Amino acid sequence: MRGLSWHAFFAILVAMFAISVGYGIVLPVLPFLLERVAGTADPAALSRHTGLLTGAYILAIFLFAPMWGRLSDRKGRRPVLLIGLLGFAATALLFAAAESLPLLYAGRFLSGLFAAAITPVAYALVGDHAPSKRWRAHRFAMINIAGMAGFFVGPLLGGLVVGDAGKLPVTTGDRLLLTPFIAIVALALAAALMVRVLLPAAVGRQASMAAAPRVQADRAVVLRLRVIAFVTALAVGSFEVGLALRGKQILGLDAAHVGAMFAECSLIMFIVQALVFSPFIDPARTRWLIAPGLATLAAGLAMVPLAESALAMTVAVALIAASAGTLSPIATYWASLGSTETQGADLGRMTAAASLGQAVGSTAGGFLFDVTLLPYAGFTVTAVIVAAGLLVSLRLPRLLRPIADEQADRQRSQGLQQ
């Protein structure tokens, strides 16, 4: 079986890039946009609404990703991708035009609803057409890299726009804050056009069964992988909100510098994911990286409150980004190996688990940031939760061994046939 053509796969990458830019570009803008819409500069109020708005977006992904995955199993992948991209563009306009907090929340939730269609369907398309598990692993890595590239570009653009807006008169600066959302709309529409033109209408469900695993992951393994996805995303969500608020309120950084820190995260994740699923590393061995990745993530989170210098903060951000960039694609890859004809729904549940974790983390990060009884609770509490997740991961390499052995057997068979 042949994999997806490069031009079809490129359309998937652009779709992932578009929604990642759409999410990332808002992060540096959000506290400043809230000041304008809510009419307050109160740090506690801004912290609370920043966390809740970010959480609303991710919560919508948690609620609707399984639905989009099931729908793509029944109706096809391309229509679901098109609905997601067009809806994402429309709701970005709603968010940009909002003049009240309720409309901001509605726009952010609806954006998450449509963004939920992209990630599980993109992974499912790769699984549908995977001629081998190595091919699947490399394409999964490229999808993650496209997402990281979007998250790298988004915060940088958002930070630069806010920085320029602060130098202009109030009315002009407020209009400039709308520029990122116009870019989101244009990018999402361009991605939709590419999906419509370059992606085949049929997903080739018959072909996808040729790559189906003989050994299925049991329920215990699937649940552990979802816990890993949840814990990793919770840490990332809490860290993102905490980093934005710490940078603005404690370190006194402007939006451009906050955006640069987010860009550092994305760049490191980009590099790590490219290495983990590179042709030089056997995908079967990646299961041994889960426990070390969680330990590194907990250490990085615990280090953030102690970082008083730019170098220390850079090291802490690097540890968090490297570990999260390792854990997320590995968990998704191993979950996909246990899926067959319900691949869209199964990967939708993985996306939902990660999204729930990010929603909880983002919301908690905003609420815990100003807790006086436990300073830096958003980072320390999250570090404890990640450490608890480490216990869940300890038996995973052994539990995943049957699937890894099957992969090795197939690779040996292919070698003999050649």
298-332 per-residue burial string, b: 16 or more CB within 10 A, e: under 16: bbbbbbbbebeeeeebeebbbbbbbbbbbbbbbbb
Going by C-alpha positions, the residue among 251, 229, 390 that lies closest to residue 316 is 251
Tell me how long the chain is: 418
Per-residue pLDDT of the chain (418 residues; tens, 9 = 90+): 456 788 899 999 999 999 999 888 887 777 777 877 777 767 777 777 877 887 788 889 989 999 999 999 888 899 999 999 999 999 988 887 777 888 888 888 999 999 999 999 998 888 888 777 778 888 888 898 888 788 778 877 776 766 555 554 444 445 666 777 888 899 999 999 999 999 877 654 444 444 444 445 577 888 899 999 999 999 988 887 777 676 655 565 556 666 677 777 778 887 887 788 777 788 888 889 999 999 999 999 988 888 777 678 778 888 998 999 889 889 888 888 766 567 788 888 888 898 888 878 877 777 776 666 666 777 888 899 999 999 889 888 888 887 766 655 555 554 444 4
Report how far residue 323's alpha carbon sits from residue 161's, in angstroms, rounded to the nearest whole number. 30
> What are the tens digits of pLDDT across the range 122-167?
988 888 887 777 788 888 888 988 887 887 788 777 767 665 555 5
- Token pair listed for 345: 């729904």
- Token pair listed for 66: 């399984």
> What are the tens digits of pLDDT across the range 268-289?
887 887 788 777 788 888 889 9
pTM (2 d.p.): 0.75
Structural domains in the chain, sorted by start: 6-417 (1.20.1250.20)
Residue 128 CA: distances (Å) to CA of 1, 343, 373:
10, 8, 51
**With contact defined as beta carbons under 8 Å apart, do 217 and 348 qualify?**
no
Q: Which residues, 6+ apart, have CB-to-CB distance to 250 below 8 Å?
A: none
- Token pair listed for 405: 């052995």
- Token pair listed for 240: 């993102």
Task: Tell me if residue 317 falls in helix, strand or coil.
Answer: helix
371 φψ region: left (φ > 0), alpha (ψ -120 to 50), beta (else): beta
- Token pair listed for 288: 């041994």
Which residue type sits at 122?
A
Helix axis angle, 133-165 to 6-24, nearest 10°: 40
> What are the tens digits of pLDDT across the range 163-222?
555 554 444 445 666 777 888 899 999 999 999 999 877 654 444 444 444 445 577 888
Using CA of residue 126, residue 129, residue 132, residue 133, what is the dihedral sign? Answer: positive
- Token pair listed for 246: 């710490």
Alpha helices in 209-342 (DSSP H): 219-245, 255-276, 290-303, 310-336
